[in-house]
Amino acid sequence: MTDLVVNGQTVQVDAAPDTALLWVLREHLGLTGTKFGCGAGMCGACTVHVDGVPAFACLTPLDAVAGSAVTTIEGLPGEDDHPLKRAWVAEQVPQCGYCQSGQIMRAAALLEENPDPQRQEIVAAMSTNLCRCGTYNRIVKAIQRAAREA
């Protein structure tokens, strides 16, 4: 059994220590907002926060997060009222929507570190997350809107 805190709740997980955090979240805890994209840490669809730092859940083994605080898209403060979630809707960011939870989690970490980022800082911070639909300009606009409204 491995103890960790997920979205503010202490949980015990009965899984092999090398099980990817992504599968622990999705299959053991039923938190399906975090998506499987590539399984190689190259797309960012699985981005979560581990102790406040963005991490690729597909590459992070369970034993590496034992005792850590993990935040998923379901655990962002404010539920649907989170400034990023509102901005995502207002700027009509999602097309297929598959990468969006990872995009929002990466953006949340950026705004936590830098509440008023410039466009080039947003582009650099978001460069680890891919969007097959190509909504990058909308993503930047949504982050700028969330920064203004937060």
What are 31-49's pLDDT values in tens digits?
999 999 999 999 999 999 9
* Distance of alpha carbon 111 from alpha carbon 146, whole angstroms: 9
Q: Counting Cβ atoms within 10 Å, is residue 77 exposed (0-12), middle (13-18) or buried (19+)?
A: exposed
- pLDDT-derived band at 23 (thresholds 50, 70, 90) equals very high
**Domains, the chain, ordered by start:** 2-75 (3.10.20.30), 79-149 (1.10.150.120)
Which tens digits make up the pLDDT trace of 134-146? Answer: 999 999 999 999 9
- pLDDT-derived band at 81 (thresholds 50, 70, 90) equals confident
* Distance of alpha carbon 46 from alpha carbon 107, whole angstroms: 13
53-57, 114-118, 132-136: which range is least confident on average?
Answer: 132-136
Task: Report pLDDT for 119.
Answer: 97
- pLDDT-derived band at 6 (thresholds 50, 70, 90) equals very high
Answer whether residue 79 shows pLDDT above 80: no
DSSP lists the bridge partners of residue 2 as: 13
Residue 137 DSSP SS3: helix
In whole numbers, what is the pLDDT of the chain averaged over residues? 95
How much is the pTM?
A: 0.94
Answer whether residue 117 shows pLDDT above 80: yes
